[in-house]
Structure 1
Amino acid sequence: MSSDQQWDIVTGVGVTALAVAAGRAIETARSDALIQDPYAAAFVAAAPASLALPVTPQELRERSGQEELWALMNAYLGVRSRVFDDFLTGAARDGIRQVVILASGLDTRPFRLEWPAGTRCFELDQPLVLDFKLRVLAQQDARAECAHTPVPADLREDWPAALEAAGFDAALPTAWLAEGLLPYLPPEAEERLFKEIDRLSAAGSRVAVEYVLDADLAVRDELLQDGSAALGIDLAALLPRGERRALEEQLTALGWAYDSRSAQESARTHGRTLSAAPAVTDRMLHVFARRP
């Protein structure tokens, strides 16, 4: 995908953001929910009818022929959302008051999490995606629990300039989140991303990353291919190819302390299992790093 291509909520990567919102809505409706997102279902309702997606466990069970796909997606998204919720709220408890959510999609953390006074949260994503999200949130009378600053920007371009122009302060420790992002970046853009995060991060900053080991192999999983086809997208075409340096190597070379755990480990921590599509779930890592 070239850097001059943009997307909204019904095309390309935007559709995946809508599917993720549907997954959060299903998780929210569970009796043993790991997260609460009162706005997720509203995004699905506001999308074109042709993109009707399940938003409750009952609707999930009624998806004939797609039960396995949606069960896996729901199980993983519930775990992923909780893991990164905990990362951000933990950073805030430890005194970090500046948060940057990269490629935020239909994320609603500024509106659904409790933030200490003085917290400022920046959200970066494509302009049309942010416009859709903010319009739906306004219709829901949603109120941010922090100082919320949306930043229309393409992460394949000069996003640091847009972030700093919006008021980001590189002198403050920052909690960065890159969730559901890296596979969509070309290898060189991924390298630039972490170099810029390093440049913009004061001592004590933290970053959490969803990382896929060998995304080219994972995307060939039959269940994942069927799922992307059901959403009307060619997932493989959205994922740039090319040799990538291991994330641990990138971050440690920049001087960050690196830690990770598998998605399976994260699931067990929260009493869940990720038994379907091991070709995908066994390659998912939740990475956490700190700048000393």
Structure 2
Amino acid sequence: MERIFVALADKYIEMSGWQMKEQVNQVSDTAFMAAAYRAMETNHPNAIFHDPLAEKLAGDRGKKIIGNLPKQAFIGGWSVVIRTRIIDDFIQNAIVDGVDTILNLGAGLDTRPYRMELPESLRWIEVDYPHVIELKETRLFGETPRCRLERVRLDLADVDARRTLLDAVASQSKKVLVLTEAVTPYLSEDAVALLGTDLRSHESIGYWAVDYFSPASYEYRRRSGMSDSMKMAPFLFEPKDYFGFFLRIGWTPKETRYFATEAERLGRPAPFPPATRFVMRILGFFASPERRREMKQYAGFVLFEPAKTEEQAIAKKHEAQ
């Protein structure tokens, strides 16, 4: 049965045309791609969010990146749209829960401070490479954010500078939500562990929003050719036990939203062509209940909160065994 499943999965990849050309030359390029996809969603007749500044930020570069992808590469754009809405919801709920500061690490070309309904008193801090911040400030000149927006030019790989920033933000805030949208996948496990440990050391940091990819997705990326197409900006973070990894560094999930489930709720299922939908139905027919659940939980986003000391101790003990 497992051989049948793998064969059908390979056929699905073949039919989907996931043999992408190399388009992304560095991690920062993914920000242009994401902005272009948000601009496309804004023009959708049933848009699930509106980002009127996305097109200005994406520019010709963003359009060229997604324009040179094969037509079948729609799944990437769809996932950007769904994750955007998920994170929007996380933010709104966190503000209701008392968050007074949003710390967006690796902010890229995000425009939430401008497009979301936010309290004027909310402090929003964007952190990214100097060239990303400079481009953003140039293209958004004259636009007015809806909250107290600050920008910090900083390479997150500079651990000392990052810790200095975290110390300052944490000491000036009552409750912080940290965003790392499309950041952790490009970091090594050691780097994510160090970042998570640094965040956990501050009592005022109450939430951390992080990308989720299942172990099955790692193999899919390799089979589909996606890894080759992104070899200049490869995914490095592939823990065997995702939730166990975060628990060991002090974080437990408060809420997990999977793309497939969220897309159903929003009425925006992945726009697979008919042939691909047929293959997926066959996959579901042959798959066990556990496998079908894995297919539903392929990727998503997790809102973490600090784990209790005893939970973390149990996780470390289990790892040692």
TM-score interval, smaller chain:
0.7 to 0.9
Describe the superposition over 1:202-238 as per-residue Cα deviations: whole angstroms up to 9, x where unpaired.
Answer: 27x1121112223642432436358x4xxxxxx1342
More helix by share: 2
1:262 corresponds to: 258
- Aligned counterpart, 1:100: 103
Question: Within 5 A, what are the aligned runs for 1:189-268?
Answer: 189-202=191-204, 205-214=206-215, 216-222=218-224, 224=226, 228=229, 235-239=230-234, 241=236, 244=239, 246-258=241-253, 259-268=255-264
Residue 74 of structure 1 is matched in structure 2 by: 77
Correspondence 1:287 to 2:302: yes
Give, as a single letter, the amino acid of the residue that structure 2 aligns with 1:40: A
Which of 97, 112, 117 lines up with 2:115 in the alignment? 112
Do the aligned residues in 1 keep the contact of 2:35 with 2:58 (CA within 8 Å)? yes
Cα displacement string for residues 228-269 of structure 1 (whole angstroms, at most 9, x for unaligned residues): 4xxxxxx13422657636331233234443142322112112
The CA distance in 2 between the partners of 1:281 and 1:73, in whole Å, is 16
Secondary structure of the 1:143 match is coil
Q: Secondary structure at the match of 2:301?
A: strand
Partner of 1:44: 58
Report the Cα distance in structure 2 between the residues aligned to 1:219 and 1:126, rounded to whole angstroms.
27
TM-score (norm 1): 0.78
**What amino acid sits opposite 2:40 in the alignment?**
I
Q: Structure 1: which 5+ residue stretches go unaligned?
A: 1-9, 55-62, 229-234
Deviation, structure 1 residue 162: 4.7
Counterpart in the other structure of 2:129: 126
Residue 177 of structure 2, aligned match among 175, 178, 188:
175
Question: Which residue is equivalent to 1:273?
Answer: 269
> Deviation per CA, 1:163-216, whole angstroms, max 9, x where unpaired?
24765536521111121111210111010111111113427x112111222364
Gaps of 5+ in 2: 1-23, 281-293, 309-321
**Matched residue SS, 1:176:** strand
Aligned-partner Cα distance in 1 for 2:250–2:225: 38
Q: Highest CA radius of gyration, 1 or 2?
A: 2
How many residue pairs get matched? 262
Give the whole-Å Cα distance in 2 for the aligned partners of 1:64 and 1:47. Answer: 11
Assess if the C-alpha contact under 8 Å between 1:98 and 1:175 holds in 2.
yes
Identity of aligned residues (%): 25
